[in-house]
Amino acid sequence: MNWIWLWPLGMSVAAFATMARDKYQAIRGGWRIPETTLLSLAILGGGPGALLAMLLLRHKTRKPAFFLGLPAIVLVQGAIVEFLRAA
């Protein structure tokens, strides 16, 4: 098994968990996680997890940085994966 593929998997789990925590805090009225942190996790490899959390939890769906940015991040990450796989 090529260990490099564990990075996006781990980052996706972390991004999903962080988005879920922020959604919980939003409902509860508690301390929120900054949007830059959520987007940074997505950019650093957690795009699929962040996008899945946005869709399943219906969180940040009104923010253009998320409803436009997360799909774009996932597309770029997918292209990178395909490039690495072909190399």
Delimit the domains of the chain by residue range: 3-86
Q: Over the stretch 35-64, which tens digit does the pLDDT of each residue have?
A: 999 999 999 999 999 999 999 999 999 999
* Of 37 and 2, more confident: 37
The sign of the torsion formed by the CA atoms of 26, 33, 73, 3 equals negative
Q: What one-character-per-residue DSSP string does 29-52 give?
A: T-PPPPHHHHHHHIIIIIHHHHHH
Q: What is the pLDDT of residue 86?
A: 86
Residue type present at position 60: K
